[in-house]
Amino acid sequence: MAAPVILVDPLPRTLEQIMTPAVRARLESLGRLVISEARPMHDDEIEALLPHAVAIIGQTAMPRERLGRAPQLKAIINVETNFLPNIDYAACQARGVWVLTPASAFAAPVAEAALGLALDLGRGISAADRAFRAGSETYGLEANLDTIRFEGAPVGIIGFGDLGRKFRELIRPFRNEVRVYDPWLPAEIIERLDCRQSDLDTLLERSRFVVVFAAPTTENAHFLGAPQFALMQKGSAFLLMSRAAVVDFQAMIAAARSGHIRVATDVFPVEPVPADDPVRATPNMVFSAHRTGGTRDALFEIGSMAVADLELILKGLPPQLCRRADPAIASRLRSQPVSKT
């Protein structure tokens, strides 16, 4: 009997980036790997492999009619980590095909970076470093006239999935009052983590640190714009940690340039950001080049989660580590796929 086929179409990731040799050996023991890493796998290659494929590592397009040509398929594991609108999620669910993402691997490093950026915005750490290097530093109280202490400050979290919940756990020692805005969650889940469910306006008005982890959906494009930034207290900190599409990016820049708020962002409407983009010169902003989640350990966790769950699925057992695509949610998500690991 021919070995089952595992179609590996993982760009922008590669197996070397997301799997240690030991984890890759586990994957190889599950079937014959057919790998396309120099380019996305061509349609004719995919069609030739579909009758024999038991799993896909990547998010190769899988509309209903193509799914019908893959009778042995048991799992699609998207190691890019965004559920993209190129799969018929309802058809997969009806067929019993697991569509998974190990996106929670990024939760700890993103939360950790968000805390670091919040402390920087509140205490002016990177600004003080630049002033010192330029010979324009100030000392003592004069250097702290605009300081916001993070400890005890009211914090607002927008989007309370894996990233938001990890951030909440990370900041527990700082004894913040935490408000959460997430219209997809009931109060019971939010309150279970010692937070207060909030409407968006109240969160913006009362929080000194607002951290955005909300994923782009069909319903929330640019939902944070000039009217929302105007609600924030002067000098408060706004951190964009998810995707640029959820904010009016130009309005955010304007709010920072005016001095009304301080801003940190890890994401941009176009990436890589052009060298001459005027955003680079915006005052009251701290920049991170979409790097907060992409640590070596997080990328290896993507691979180990994917392989561990695939081992279970091929034994006829349900996955335990990755998140399953719910058709009602996945059909609303609109994250742009990343172009670089």
122 vs 239: CA distance, rounded Å: 11
- Rounded-to-integer distance, Cα 197 and Cα 87, Å: 33
Say how far apart CA 26 and CA 28 lie, in whole Å: 5
Both 56 and 184 in one domain: the answer is no
Residues 165, 260: one domain? yes
* CATH, residue 304: 3.40.50.720
Residue 337 domain-assigned?
A: no
- 82/135 same-domain check: no
**Mean pLDDT along residues 297-306:** 98
Q: What is the pLDDT of residues 89-101, one digit of tens each?
A: 999 999 999 999 9
* pLDDT in the model for residue 229: 98
Could you please report the per-residue DSSP string of 102-158?
A: -GGGGHHHHHHHHHHHHHHHHHTHHHHHHHHHHT----GGGGGTT---STT--EEEE
Contact between 199 and 224 under an 8 Å Cβ cutoff? The reply is no
My answer on whether 116 and 243 are in the same domain is: yes
Residue 2 has pLDDT above 90, yes or no: no
Contact 25, 53 (CB under 8 A): no
Residues 72, 95 share a domain: yes
The pLDDT of 125-148, averaged and rounded, is 97
112 shares a domain with 250: yes
Q: Is residue 133 pLDDT above 80, yes or no?
A: yes
Residues 95, 126: one domain? no
Predicted confidence (pLDDT) at residue 34 exceeds the cutoff of 90: yes
- Does 326 share its domain with 197? no
Domain check: are 93 and 206 in the same one?
no
The domain tally of the chain equals: 2
Residue 184 inside a domain? The answer is yes
In a domain, 123, yes or no: yes
Answer whether residue 335 is part of any domain. Answer: no
* Whether residue 178 is found in the same domain as residue 118: yes
Q: Is 341 among the domain residues?
A: no
Structural domain contains residue 339: no
Strands 196-197 and 236-240: unpaired
Shared domain for 139 and 69, answered yes or no, is: no
> Is 174 inside a domain boundary?
yes
Find where tokens 């930034």 sit.
229
The pTM of this model reads 0.95
Q: Are residues 115 and 229 in the same domain?
A: yes
DSSP 264: E
Residue range(s) defining the domain that contains residue 76: 5-102+296-330
**If you average pLDDT over residues 176-194, what whole number do you get?**
98
Is residue 188 domain-resident?
A: yes
